[in-house]
Amino acid sequence: MNKKAAKAEKKGKECVIQTKGVMKCYGEEDKCVTTVLQDVDICIEKGNFVSIMGPSGSGKTTLLDIIGCLLKPTQGDVFIDGVRTAELSDDELALIRREKIGFVFQQYNLIQSATALENVSIAMRIAGKSSWEARDKAKRLLEMVGLKDRLNNRPSELSGGEQQRVAIARSLANDPKIILGDEPTGNLDTKTGQVVLNILKKLNEEEGYTIVVVTHDSRIAQYTDKIINLLDGRVSREDHPNNHNHVKGLKSTKKKGGD
Amino acid sequence: MWDLALKNIMRNRTRTILTTLGILIGIGAIVALGSIAEGLDAAIQSGLELTAGKITVMDAESSLFGMGGELTLEDVALIEGLSGVKEVVPMNWHAENIQMFQGPEWVAVGVPPDKVEYLIGENTQFEEGRIFEEGETEVAIIGKAISERYNAHVGDTWEIKGKFFEIVGVTEETGISDIDSSIAVPFDDMQDILDSEEFQMMYVIPDNVKDTEKVANEIEEASDKFNALTSQELARQASQIVDQIRIFTFGIGAIAAFVGGLGVMNTMIMSVMERRKEIGVMKAIGATNRMVLQQIITESALISLIGGLGGILLGILGSVLLSNVIGGGQITATVTPQLALTGLSFALFLGIIGGLYPARKASQLDPVEALRYE
């Protein structure tokens, strides 16, 4: 077991995300052909902003998929907000994703034929909210990420940064505890990436969301509380950057109403 | 989820409209063809009112509609001699200008002049003129529909194969097409026209309506040649035939509709393939397999339901056209609520069946794979 994870456990800190001895491999039936992750023990504390770094093929996206309940580990345990996910059915995992996790992807993954408002509403419709309730809240969330004037635009009419902000609004739709980002700024230029990062940072600092992002950009990682480095499917190192107090331009964006 | 389904199927309008058309045509065929069976049923039912309390006697060899048959006046005498028989009415007829699908232009029925009321209905009133007198020849009584269609009235002459008949009466409109569209002439005159002593059918009127069944049995026992049918028996046989026609017409339409159903399936498979990534996103943000399944089936059911509703309209239109073509206006092809419901249910059935496979595929998509799919 990784030292730091063990230490966190001893101290009795609350891990909102915890993995114990997670192993993931691909192959036929019982035969393990390619091992993607091995002995991954991590603890992500509540309210932390954590980045997962590592070279291509180090297994960082796979780890994010496992944390996000999109993928089941071959071995080991995963706890999300205290719930052991290893033995849950597909539908139960879907429920966890719906209620506890918000996703932000590198490719934004918005529904192309739907407007910004509809893209955010749909997450709430899945959770069984009425069409009016969903629209109302989607509007507020989009206003919060600064897209007040873009409610009825389709993804093709939005810039990359705007699309990613729609995706962030969508990830917040069902009041999750955790936001997972898979290279959320990977498709954006530095300046736009900074805007998106600021929003995430603000959500973390002001609203207390636990945020985990996969990135290969060390500058982004420097903004986070903790960097989990992966190498060849194993946690190689955990860093705690010291400058997690200030993100440029964040001070001026104060929380206004909302949820 | 219906609003989302509508939105989704309207994304590719052309494809959806074409798919809908496939169902629409199929259900239209079911409804239009089925309307003939319903119209036939209505015509037979109204015709049966005329035979209520009467026994219809035909040659045992002939079919229900009295094609063929070799009854003679000796047979009439034989039945008249049986107990409980009040009246025997022999009938012979000539159908003018029979055409494929259209039926005859009109039918003239020969009946003994003193018994003509059994043909035109005992309670039927006259719009013009009078009933036959005993022993009268070369006279005719026509129904209201015939009078209107040919603008024929009392005093006019009606020609049947070179023989001329003076119209002495026009019956009121009864709503029974066998009366409204009939031309009654004396039996002997019709024998001359047909140049035959034999005829196809007779009505036997029992002394007491309650004895109908008993008298019918007696007639059949009197000679193997006779097939005596009460109105209940006729109704039963007729409804059997109508049911067969119903099944047949539904079968033809169902083939067309089934092809439409394959179209729905094809469209939904395409749609699911195109939306792979989107379905992956839906699952990633918390949609269960069941929700995805329901969503796709709802979409395919919606396409089919729209097609089904359109098909009913097409079927109604078709039934109007068919009424004018088939049976020379004697059969009114009718779209009954039951028939419309059958069409709609079948459309829904096809939609659900057609959507099942693509919906299953969609629900089983692995979100991780679907998300990274380009």
Give whole-number Cα distances, A177 to A81, A185, B106, B258, in Å. Answer: 8, 21, 84, 49
User: Which of A26, A67, A90, A179 best probes binding to B when mutated, by most B CB atoms within 10 angstroms?
Assistant: A90
3-state secondary structure of B111: strand
Residues of chain A contacting B283 with CB distance shorter than 8 Å = 94
The answer to whether the CB atoms of B285 and A125 lie below 8 A apart is no
pLDDT at position B1 is: 67
Give the mean model confidence (pLDDT) for residues B149-176.
90
How far is the C-alpha of B280 from the C-alpha of B367, rounded, in Å? 4
Please give the pLDDT value at position A8: 47
CA distance B366 to chain A (A): 8
Assigned token pair, B355: 């959507």
- What does the alpha-carbon distance between residue B165 and residue B158 come to, in Å, rounded to a whole number? 5
What number is the average pLDDT over the span B340-348? 95
Strand, coil or helix: what is A238?
A: strand
Burial zone of A44 (CB within 10 Å; 0-12 exposed, 13-18 middle, 19+ buried): buried
Angle between helix B231-274 and helix B276-284 axes, rounded to 10 deg: 80
Tokens for A235, please give them: 């946690």
Q: Which residues of B touch A65 (CB under 8 A)?
A: 368
Instruction: Flag whether residue A113 sits within 8 Å of chain B, measured between CB atoms.
Output: yes
Q: Which residue of A has its CA nearest to B280?
A: A109
Contacts of B278 in chain A (CB under 8 A): 111-112
Q: If DSSP codes are grouped into helix, strand and coil, which group holds residue B87?
A: strand
Task: Report the C-alpha gap between A152 and A79 in whole angstroms.
Answer: 38
What are the tens digits of pLDDT across the range B74-132?
Answer: 889 899 988 889 999 999 888 887 776 666 788 899 999 999 988 888 888 898 899 99
CB atoms within 10 A of CB A84: 12
Tokens of B203: 């009505």
Confidence at residue B10, expressed as pLDDT on a 0 to 100 scale: 85
> If pLDDT is split at 50, 70 and 90, which confidence band does B332 have?
confident
Min distance A122 CA to chain B CA atoms (Å): 8
Looking at residue B296, its pLDDT comes to 94
What number is the average pLDDT over the span B221-250? 86
Q: What is the DSSP string of B174-241?
A: -S-HHHHTEEEEEHHHHHHHHT-S-BSEEEEEESSGGGHHHHHHHHHHH-TTEEEEEHHHHHHHHHHH
Task: Give B-chain residues touching A94 at CB under 8 angstroms.
Answer: 283, 286-289
Tell me which chain A residue has its CA closest to the CA of residue B289: A91
Does A97 contact B at CB distance below 8 Å?
yes
In this complex, how many residue pairs, one in chain A and one in chain B, have their CB atoms less than 8 Å apart? 62
> pTM for the complete prediction?
0.73
Taking the CA of residue B274 and the nearest CA in chain A, the distance in Å comes to 12
Residue B117, both tokens: 């009321």
B114-122, long-range: CB within 8 Å, 24+ apart, which pairs? B115/B87, B115/B89, B116/B141, B116/B184, B118/B54, B118/B87, B118/B89, B118/B203, B118/B205, B119/B89, B119/B91, B119/B182, B119/B184, B119/B203, B120/B171, B120/B179, B120/B182, B120/B184, B121/B50, B121/B171, B121/B174, B121/B176, B121/B179
Note the helical H segments in chain B. Answer: 2-9, 13-51, 73-80, 117-120, 144-150, 177-180, 187-194, 212-222, 231-274, 276-284, 289-325, 337-363, 367-372
What chain B residue is nearest to A101 in terms of C-alpha separation?
Answer: B285
Residues of chain B contacting residue A124, judged by C-beta atoms under 8 Å apart: none
Question: What does the pLDDT look like over A58-93, one tens digit per residue?
Answer: 999 999 999 999 999 999 999 999 899 988 998 899
Contacts of A179 in chain B (CB under 8 A): none
Mean pLDDT, chain B, rounded, equals 88
Residue B182: pLDDT band by 50, 70, 90 thresholds? confident
Euclidean distance between CA atoms B34 and B42, whole angstroms: 13
Contact across the interface for A126 and B286, Cβ inside 8 Å: yes
Integer Cα distance of A223 and A230 in angstroms: 18
CA distance B212 to B206: 6
Using a CB-CB distance cutoff of 8 angstroms, which residues of chain A are in contact with residue B295? Answer: none
CB of A51 within 8 A of CB of A228? Answer: yes
What percent of chain B is modeled with pLDDT above 90? Answer: 46
Per-residue pLDDT for B183 more than 80? yes
Residues 218-257 of A with CB under 8 A from B: none
Q: For residue B264, what pLDDT is reported?
A: 95
Q: What is the pLDDT of residue B64?
A: 53
* Residues in chain B closer than 8 A to A130 (CB atoms): none
* Residue in B6, B10, B285, B290 to test binding to A, most A beta-carbons within 10 Å: B285
Least CA distance to B8: which residue of chain A?
A113
Looking at residue B1, what DSSP letter applies?
Answer: -
Chain B CB within 8 Å of residue A156 CB: no
Q: Report pLDDT for A253.
A: 40
A151 exposure class (CB count in 10 Å sphere: 0-12, 13-18, 19+): middle
pLDDT-flagged residues of chain A (< 70): 1-12, 242-259
CB spacing of B284 vs A103 below 8 angstroms: yes
Which of A36, A66, A72, A109 to substitute to test the interface with B, most B CBs within 10 Å? A109
Q: pLDDT higher for B235 or A229?
A: A229
Measured in whole angstroms, how far is the alpha carbon of residue B198 from the centre of its chain?
Answer: 31
CB contact under 8 A, A98 and B286: yes
- Across B118-122, B161-165, B227-231, the highest mean pLDDT is recorded for B161-165
Residue B13: CB partners within 8 Å, gap ≥ 6?
A: none
> Which residues from chain B sit within 8 angstroms of residue A95, using beta carbons?
286, 288
Cα(B174)–Cα(B178) distance, rounded to whole angstroms?
9
Helical pair B337-363 and B289-325, crossing angle rounded to 10 deg:
150
A95/B285 Cβ within 8 A: no
**Nearest by CB: B289 against A91, A122, A127:** A91
Q: For the residues B148-172, what does the mean pLDDT come to?
A: 91
The residue whose two tokens read 């034989």 is B78
Given CB atoms, is A127 within the 8 Å cutoff of chain B?
yes
Per-residue pLDDT at A164: 93
The DSSP code sequence of B135-166 is T--SEEEE-HHHHHHHT--TT-EEEETTEEEE
* Beta pairing class for B201-206 and A49-53: unpaired
Q: What ipTM did this prediction achieve?
A: 0.83
